[in-house]
Structure 1
Amino acid sequence: MTGFIETEEQQALRAAVAALAAKYSYRDYVLPRARKGEPLTELWDEAGALGFLGVNLPEEYGGGGAGMYELALVMEELAAQGAGLLLMVVSPAIVGTILTKYGTEAQKRKWLPGLADGSSKLVFGITEPDAGSNSHQITTTARRDGEDWILNGRKIFISGVDQADAVLIVSRTEDHKTGKLKPALFLVPVDAPGFHKTQQEMDIIEPDHQFTLFLDDVRLPADALVGAEDAAIAQLFAGLNPERIMGAAMAIGLGRYAIAQAVAYAKERQVWKSPIGAHQGISHPLAQVKIELELASLMQRKAAALYDAGDEFGAAEAANMAKYAAGEASIKALDQAVQTFGGSGLTADVGLASMLGAARISRIAPVSREMILNFVAQHSLGLPRSY
């Protein structure tokens, strides 16, 4: 991208992804599967076969050799058709990035080709019941036993474990139970002895499930360790900027979908002899949300461009701001779309109300609105830390 103009390749990628997503409409494909709790397997497989899922991964391992900008572009265009793929956030974006930067050659050759074509899925396990946003309080521990490692701990709100081959678990070595977090990252196969998952009951309509994980003396070989055992915090956060960028892209796409539905209805629905979209009570709120989505999109693209340019701090600031702006705009867009439809907006035929829970997630995960405000206050404004 040069300035605000995408390259011909990026424009072509947008068009190709949009064409794919149009085949898997929200009402006919995504929503019926989400209601049954079934993953979007057909869409995932086709997106992988077309090279969309691994567009950010190195070419030598089967990826597209592009960047986070392009992967976020894929996510946005899928979500703009109501077909966002949650596991894109964790598999190629978080885990794929960490493996690319810190994995051994053997780990890269084992996992990255599968992540690139979608035939393998790796998910990410960081959140704990008593840690939440405070990752320094992680209590999952790893201790050496000869050449092996033994993991013990518990994780919560881990997405897509039932679809995954392994989970990248964030732990800490036993001698770092207190003090600053020095994470040790391990690829844990989902069939490893002592690894147990329990599906969490969620009150939202989503095709992907959340899990609580229990690690009870899970024994892993030395080559399960990703990166250094006494890693700097940067090793962990290498995957978190991409997570925020992808979350923002998904929220922006969802907002685009909602507004497109509302605008189409506002052009057709007539009351008092004119389309309701002719009335400022309808048109102005939709125009306002359009502006806010575009502003969020600009910040998301800035974050991705900074990340791809290697500006870690600039990307962190922009990614947090993008995630905040996109979350707020997408919730507002969906709410306004429902309001535009009136009572019809709450019907199963329209399908917008079923998206309300998913949209609300963007204000909470992967980092809450309040923690983003803390970050901006401290790092962008230079105000004293409050926590």
Structure 2
Amino acid sequence: MNLDLTDEQAQLRDAVRALGRRYGHGYFVAKAKAGEHTTELWADAGRLGYLGVNLPTEYGGGGGGITELALVCEELAAAGCPLLLLVVSPAIAGTVIARHGTEEQRRRLLPGLADGSSKVAFAITEPEAGSNFHRLGTVARPDGDDWLITGDKCYISGVDEAGHVLVVARVPQESPAADDRPAEHDRPVGDGRGGRPGEPRLRPALFVVPTDAPGLTRSRLEMEIVSPENQFLLHLDEVRVPADALVGGSVDTGLPALFAGLNPERITVAAMSVGTGRYAIERASAYAATRTVWQGRPIGTHQGVSHPLAHATVQVELARLMVYQAATRYDAGRDVEAGVAANMAKYAAGEAAALAVDTAVQTLGGAGLTTEYGVATLLGAVRAGRIAPVSREMILNFVAQHVLGQTKSY
């Protein structure tokens, strides 16, 4: 078992770290508070090839995997710039299109994702469904050669920055076979089986929908999170899309395409959380090493200060190991093992990041709550990381059922 990065991965890590530090958390917060986007950072990351590291070379990508994209997410977050659209656009949409899109879809969408000139949002979450994917209410029905999509989505990131949104919708199914029973949304991998007797059968499909399509409207959700990336409610009122908007060109592609995007989502969110935890600990450690209050000694010499920081550091590093175990297994095509590790990484990183930021605020005392010191600005984001894209409770349900062999509890 080799836990070391390759030379190429180490060079990527160092280069992304340098880019992130050139911008820094001050830039990130200033953009957020001005209601602006991190356009300059995104453009530089695209120009340097960091946004497409996981995409195939024939479409302008770097030919790497989720491991490389996780490094990008972690290092930018460690510089104080946790970019959620890295998860949404190259990790989810990029992976789905690269693995399951038609050749035309790959050639049309992937080069822009790779160089940063375009973004694709992802719309799966619905107001009434929560974590119960069986209750997916958005419906796509055929109309001649086109599809008409109707439904509502919520907490959809970056729609105002994206040219397209990847919409998950339910399609008609007349006589479902056993293999078409509902997929469990909390499962990162699977064959589409599962669900309780009497639950509605689900046949999901994914559609590439232009964000300016007639019938698609959006309203911004006001969030208590300091971020330059916005969240939206989407309403689709018989949005008409052509046949070539269907990912893979077939409704049979929907389930495997959907699952292809869920593990990369969990892994890159976890990597971003690890980076955020590292950033908070670094800020707090620098403060504790220089701040003097009693007897002329830095506060970090006191165990009441240093031990909580050390504990948070251990938790962040443990989560980091799980992130790269998950990424390595995913890139090796070990989907079942990658699914377990991705869920565990998401859980561990969410907890570790929340602990690290809270500990950093406590270490800095009153200064920890100021914008100047740049740690309290992350409180909302790390708290959200324990909820999205899958809650810690649903991950524990998954582990209890699929790792420990317990009866399904929900």
CA distance in 1, matches of 2:211, 2:313: 42
Alpha-carbon contact 1:269-1:275 (below 8 Å) kept: yes
Q: Among residues 178, 198, 208, which one is paired with 2:229 in the alignment?
A: 208
Whichever residue aligns with residue 181 of structure 1, its letter is L
Whichever residue aligns with residue 24 of structure 1, its letter is Y
Partner of 1:10: 9
Q: Give the TM-score of the pair, scaled to structure 1.
A: 0.98
Partner of 2:159: 161
Partner of 1:32: 30
**Equivalent runs, 1:39-118 vs 2, <5 Å:** 39-118=37-116
Matched, 1:138 2:160: no
Alpha-carbon contact 2:100-2:253 (below 8 Å) kept: no
Alpha-carbon contact 2:135-2:200 (below 8 Å) kept: no
**Equivalent runs, 1:159-198 vs 2, <5 Å:** 159-175=157-173, 179-198=200-219
CA distance in 1, matches of 2:308, 2:73: 26
Whichever residue aligns with residue 321 of structure 2, its letter is L
CA distance in 2, matches of 1:279, 1:246: 35
Q: Deviations over 1:110-166 (max 9, x none)?
A: 000000000010010000011111112101111111111111111000000000001
Partner of 1:249: 271
Residue identity over aligned pairs, in percent, reads 60
Alpha-carbon contact 1:245-1:303 (below 8 Å) kept: yes
Whichever residue aligns with residue 95 of structure 2, its letter is T
Alpha-carbon contact 2:205-2:254 (below 8 Å) kept: no
More displaced stretch, 222-231 vs 42-51: 222-231
Matched, 1:263 2:262: no
The alignment's C-alpha RMSD in Å is 1.2
Partner of 2:124: 126
Q: Tell me, what secondary structure is at the counterpart of 1:271?
A: coil
CA distance in 2, matches of 1:167, 1:136: 21
CA distance in 1, matches of 2:288, 2:135: 50
Matched, 1:324 2:347: yes
CA distance in 2, matches of 1:324, 1:291: 15
CA distance in 1, matches of 2:59, 2:349: 32
CA distance in 1, matches of 2:206, 2:89: 15
Partner of 1:229: 251
Q: Tell me, what secondary structure is at the counterpart of 1:262?
A: helix
Alpha-carbon contact 2:55-2:110 (below 8 Å) kept: yes
Alpha-carbon contact 1:181-1:233 (below 8 Å) kept: no
Q: Give the TM-score of the pair, scaled to structure 2.
A: 0.92
Alpha-carbon contact 1:123-1:167 (below 8 Å) kept: yes
Q: Tell me, what secondary structure is at the counterpart of 1:239?
A: helix
Partner of 2:241: 220
CA distance in 1, matches of 2:46, 2:158: 17
Q: Deviations over 1:197-222 (max 9, x none)?
A: 11111122111111111111111110
* CA shift for structure 1 position 259: 0.1
CA distance in 2, matches of 1:51, 1:287: 35
CA distance in 1, matches of 2:22, 2:52: 20
Matched, 1:381 2:404: yes
Q: Unmatched 5+ residue regions in structure 2? A: 175-181, 183-198
CA distance in 2, matches of 1:182, 1:16: 43
CA distance in 1, matches of 2:408, 2:161: 39
Number of corresponding residues: 385
CA distance in 2, matches of 1:3, 1:297: 15
Q: Deviations over 1:318-375 (max 9, x none)?
A: 0000000000000000000011101111112212112100111110000000000000
Whichever residue aligns with residue 195 of structure 1, its letter is L
Alpha-carbon contact 1:182-1:231 (below 8 Å) kept: no
Q: Deviations over 1:62-114 (max 9, x none)?
A: 00000000000000000001012110101000010000111011100000000
More displaced stretch, 47-56 vs 227-236: 227-236
* CA shift for structure 1 position 49: 0.3
Q: Deviations over 1:287-331 (max 9, x none)?
A: 111111010000000000000000111111000000000000000
CA distance in 1, matches of 2:74, 2:254: 32
CA distance in 2, matches of 1:208, 1:309: 32
Q: Tell me, what secondary structure is at the counterpart of 1:291?
A: helix
Alpha-carbon contact 1:302-1:318 (below 8 Å) kept: yes
* CA shift for structure 1 position 232: 5.8
Matched, 1:360 2:370: no
CA distance in 1, matches of 2:157, 2:278: 24
Stretches (4+) displaced over 4 A: none
**Equivalent runs, 1:276-355 vs 2, <5 Å:** 276-355=299-378
Q: Tell me, what secondary structure is at the counterpart of 2:389?
A: coil
CA distance in 2, matches of 1:35, 1:372: 33
Q: Deviations over 1:224-268 (max 9, x none)?
A: 000221346332111000000000000000000000000000110
